[in-house]
Each structure stands twice: as C-alpha cells, then as structure tokens.
Amino acid sequence: MKKPTAADKKQTLLGLVMLAVLAVLAVPFAAAGLGILLFMTAPMVYDWARMQTWHSVPAQVDSATLQSHKPSKGGTTYRVSTHYRYQVAGVEYTGDRASITTRADNIGSFQEQLGHRLQSAERTSAPVPVWVNPAQPAESVVDRSLRPGLLALQLGLALVFGAFGGCVVFWAARTLLRRRQQSAHA
C-alpha cells in the first residue's frame, strides 16, 4: 500500500475541514425546520384539534380592526384585531382572539375576509358566533378553522429546511466517521 504524501494529507485535511464547515452551516437549516414544526405548526394543529369540542355562543363585537403592514419588499400582510363580549351560563366574558393563529400573514384572503366580517358586525351590532371552551369559558375564538394554505406552507418550509439541514449534517457526519475509520485501519 502506498504511503500518503504531504500533499495527500493536506488534501484530506482540507476535505475534512470543508465537511465540518458544511455540517456547521447546515445546522441552522435543520434547526429552522424543526422550529417551524414545533413552534408554529404543532401549536396551530393542537389548538385546532382541541377547539373542535368547543361550543358556539353569540357574541357582540365591541371593536374590530384589520391591521395591514407593507414592508419595503414583498406583499402586504394582514392581522385581525378584535374585542368582543359573550355570555356563558349568565356570566359575561370578553375575548380578543380572532382565529387560531395570531400572527399577521398574506396567505390567501382569510385575514381580510374575517376582518371585514367582524367590522361589519361591529357597525351593525349584529351578533357573531364565537367558539368557547366549555371547561374554561373565558377562552374563546371567533374562527376556529384550520387554514389549509397556511398549514401547507408551514409543513413545506419545515420539510425543506429540516430535510436539507438534516441530510447535510447526516451526510457530513457519516463521511467524517468513514474517513476516521479508514485512517484508523491504514
């Protein structure tokens, strides 16, 4: 077997360093994918699932605002802000949760439609149905629907970032281990 030259050792070391750097750079991608899944998608699906047992009661909208934000680049994002009153078992409660997610977004026209619906109810004093947690009547939401477009976007981002980062880290670690084993046997 041929003994490695100084140039071979230098090239091997350079390859190992590049693999390590690539793995370190891939970790944030894997973390972003996992973060999107754990801190955005999972809570949204969990809230949607538990809200399916909630009861509908009429509420009076005290205020409704459709907030918009137009960054220097990209599309306008919207967020509904609302305050409403409702009664459960003769006790009056107030709520401010418009939908499952509380973040602004521009996925479809959901935020705009919900905002306009609540603004119309405020103007006309028409009651709107809200969903109330029977175990904790102070917990309520106007719209408990799971938004397929938002769910697909979050799952897609989690998959792309997580899979890319995870695969690169796995590949780099496996390659480093194989090279280490090969050098130990040489």
- Stated pTM of the model: 0.82
- Tell me what pLDDT residue 184 has: 74
Residue 159 lies in a domain: yes
Evaluate whether 59 touches 103 at the Cβ level (below 8 Å): no
pLDDT tens over the chain, length 186 residues: 566 676 666 667 777 788 888 888 899 999 999 999 999 999 999 999 999 999 999 999 999 999 999 987 878 999 999 999 999 999 999 999 999 999 999 999 999 999 999 999 999 999 999 999 999 999 999 999 999 999 999 999 999 999 999 999 888 888 888 877 877 776
Do residues 136 and 78 share a domain?
yes
What span, in angstroms and rounded, lies between the C-alpha atoms of 108 and 111?
A: 8
Do residues 136 and 63 share a domain?
yes
Q: Which domain holds residue 44?
A: 30-52+144-181
Please give the tally of structural domains in the chain.
2
Angle between helices 42-51 and 148-185 (to 10 degrees): 140
